[in-house]
Amino acid sequence: MDKGTLILIDLSGRVKDTGEIIETTVAADAKKFGVFDESKKYEPRLVSVGEEWVLKGLDEAIISAKINKRVVLDIHPEKAFGERDPNKVRRIPLRKLGEKAAELRVGDEVEIDNRIGLIRFIGSGRAQIDFNHKYAGKVLTYDFKISKELTTAYEKSMSLLRRRLPVEEGKVSLIIKNDELTISIPKEAYLTEGLQIIKKAASTDIFKYVGNVNKVTYLEIYESQKPKKPKKPKKPKKPKKPKNTPKRKVNTKKAQPLPKTEKRKQGNRKSS
């Protein structure tokens, strides 16, 4: 696959020697290894091929992998979390760990000077902190399968957004028109911590990987919480009364007989 190709991949990673699960996107594997979390959504992960979105050893294997073909490989420390460095192990007075120092136990993670370390030993008022990565020096076993290559502008935009903003696809609306992408964010995401930073980062990703998009607009719609007034039912229209047509007057009077003199005149007219 070419560098920069966006794919969806299912994967499970374990420490080879101990079988300790590192990460998984597969619910069945999470149950199998006893790390299933009901609050977590298990789904394929978005990866840009060859751009170190995953461990270097895994990234190299993805380049030559085929869609829907399962691959199992061992990744050695130099292409995983590196070799262990003895200089990254320090002994620190417990008082420097703050008020909760007495509650700390071996195996706990602590943050000191903006670095995350693992407590390896506690004694004589001091703690041994290992600032090497938890899996430094470990050989890892990864089992993965590419489920899909993203090709359309919609698929790429949706996946890049959800990589930054954890929302369900069905709750996000994307409209692409010409070179502009409009994204309607669901209400439950409005108060997400660092939302403005997330939107900027997602936009940068979209500009890089979706070639025909040059403008991204985010919509956040707020509606009044006032109860809406019920609409009054329309009154049925009364049937129109027909217009009154003038009645013809009927002459009910009987014709009066002509006087005899008139009859004679009429008779004379006929004879003449």
Tens of pLDDT, residue by residue over 45-60, are: 999 999 999 999 999 9
State whether 5 and 79 are in the same domain: yes
State whether 5 and 140 are in the same domain: yes
Which of the residue ranges 8-12, 27-31, 78-82, 238-242 would you say has the lowest mean pLDDT? 238-242
Identify the residue with better confidence: 236 or 136. 136
From CA 252, how far away is CA 261, in angstroms rounded?
26
pTM of the model: 0.76
Is residue 119 within 8 A of residue 157, CB to CB? The reply is no
Task: State whether the Cα torsion 209-211-216-219 is positive or negative.
Answer: negative
Is residue 258 within 8 A of residue 221, CB to CB? The reply is no
Measured CA to CA in angstroms, residue 105 lies from 101, 102, 123 at distances of 9, 8, 11
Has residue 243 got a pLDDT over 90?
no
Residue bearing tokens 């990460």 = 23
Closest CA to 5 of 161, 229, 155: 155
Rounded mean pLDDT of 257-272? Answer: 54
Identify the residue with better confidence: 211 or 268. 211
pLDDT band of residue 265 (cuts 50, 70, 90) is: low
Has residue 90 got a pLDDT over 60?
yes
State whether 2 and 69 are in the same domain: yes
CA angle 84, 86, 89 (to 5 degrees): 105
Amino acid at 223: E
State whether 100 and 125 are in the same domain: yes
Does a structural domain hold residue 101? yes
pLDDT (0 to 100) of residue 267: 54
Has residue 250 got a pLDDT over 60?
no
Does a structural domain hold residue 251? no
Does a structural domain hold residue 190? yes
pLDDT (0 to 100) of residue 248: 61
Is residue 74 within 8 A of residue 55, CB to CB? The reply is no
**Model confidence pLDDT, tens digit, residues 178-212:** 999 999 999 999 999 999 999 999 999 999 999 89
pLDDT (0 to 100) of residue 233: 76
Has residue 149 got a pLDDT over 70?
yes
pLDDT (0 to 100) of residue 269: 54
Look over the chain and give the mean of its residue pLDDT values, rounded to a whole number.
89
The parent domain of residue 67 ranges over: 1-83+134-149
Does a structural domain hold residue 245? no
Does a structural domain hold residue 230? no
Q: For residue 218, give the CATH number of its domain.
A: 3.30.70.2210
State whether 8 and 41 are in the same domain: yes
Which of the residue ranges 6-15, 212-221, 232-241 would you say has the lowest mean pLDDT? 232-241
Which of the residue ranges 24-33, 109-118, 179-188 would you say has the lowest mean pLDDT? 109-118
